[in-house]
Structure 1
Amino acid sequence: MQKIFILIESCALFMAAGCANTPQPTDYQDSLLSDLPFVYKMTVQQGNIVTEEMVDQLKPGMTQAQVRYLLGTPLLADLFHPNHWHYPYTIKRGHQPMELRQLTLFFEQDALVKIQGTLKPDPERAARAATQPRELVMTVPDWQDQRGLVQRVLDVINLKSVERPPVN
């Protein structure tokens, strides 16, 4: 009788221990392989792209229309505070940690009064940018023959001719 009681007790103990270890579901479960360095992770950008040069052009007293022209439509317009405009921006590059930039603008009587966030206007940077010439030189690589194997074989036996751009 005592052996049956011990057997029932041990079975009940194992069943209770098995039920106690149920994992909680998560919103997003990452794969075990996603942290390996050779696994590609796409760059993900979200929000308004606001550069330091754009923020440097902000001046107190600007109207909402001028700010909207300069920075674009705010991503978050607070329903309870329509004079607070939020410009969040996040970028996640591959295996690097997520980068977060925020810009919040405060208006009173349709005029910009306060700028808050990780991006702040810098008058010295704006003055340097105004004095430097804004010239952009782009170098374009030469055209390279990147046709497939079948197309190259057809060219060799002269079945189909391909127009090639002139090389200077």
Structure 2
Amino acid sequence: MQKLIKTVTLSLALSLAGGCSYVGVYKRDLPQGNLVTQEMVAQLEQGMTREQVKFVMGSPLLEAPFNANQWDYLYRLDEAYGGVEQRRVTLTFANDRLVNITSEGNLSSDIELPSYEGPGPATEGTGPDDGIMSPQPTTPDGPTTTPGV
């Protein structure tokens, strides 16, 4: 009986000690939102139309639901083993023209996003079928040819 108690106690102690050990967890940087740079904001000028702003900045992450004249471009980078960097640019329109630019965060610092290789989804343009041309459309009489080719 004592041998059984010693065996159970030893097994329990080893299990508890093994469960308390630190095993590192793999973390990745987590970028979210629209990446906004100082160069992009420098291209903005008061009086630009919404379409011109979209050409420079892209579509806004947030359009205020109760104020259609305000666009917000947010960017947040949660570094795996570091801090959090946040950037925000708020654009205000009047009569469909840009009238105010407000920014928060350090837009002038460069952000280097590492290219992740390994398990996980591939980035666009790096798939195994990228070098393969799509087949030409066919008709019931056979493949369609392009004149002059």
Q: Please give the range of the TM-score, normalised by the shorter of the 2 chains.
A: 0.5 to 0.7
Structure 1 runs not aligned, ≥5 long: 1-31, 123-168
- After superposition, residues 24-63 of structure 1 pair within 5 angstroms as 39-63=25-49
What is the CA distance between 1:41 and its match in structure 2? 1.2
Determine whether 1:69 maps to 2:84.
Answer: no
CA distance in 2, matches of 1:42, 1:119: 22
SS of the residue corresponding to residue 115 of structure 1 reads strand
Which segments of structure 1 move beyond 2 Å, counting only runs of 4 or more? 119-122
Is the Cα contact below 8 Å between 1:47 and 1:88 reproduced in 2?
yes
More helix by share: 1
CA distance in 1, matches of 2:83, 2:35: 18
More strand by share: 2
Is the Cα contact below 8 Å between 1:58 and 1:121 reproduced in 2?
no
Letter in 1 for 2:62: L
Is the Cα contact below 8 Å between 1:57 and 1:121 reproduced in 2?
no
Is the Cα contact below 8 Å between 1:52 and 1:119 reproduced in 2?
no
- After superposition, residues 1-168 of structure 1 pair within 5 angstroms as 39-118=25-104
TM-score, scaled to structure 2: 0.54
CA distance in 2, matches of 1:99, 1:52: 15
Letter in 2 for 1:98: V
What is the CA distance between 1:40 and its match in structure 2? 2.8
TM-score, scaled to structure 1: 0.48
* Equivalent residues, number: 88
Root mean square deviation of aligned Cα: 2.4
SS of the residue corresponding to residue 68 of structure 1 reads helix
Is the Cα contact below 8 Å between 2:36 and 2:107 reproduced in 1?
no
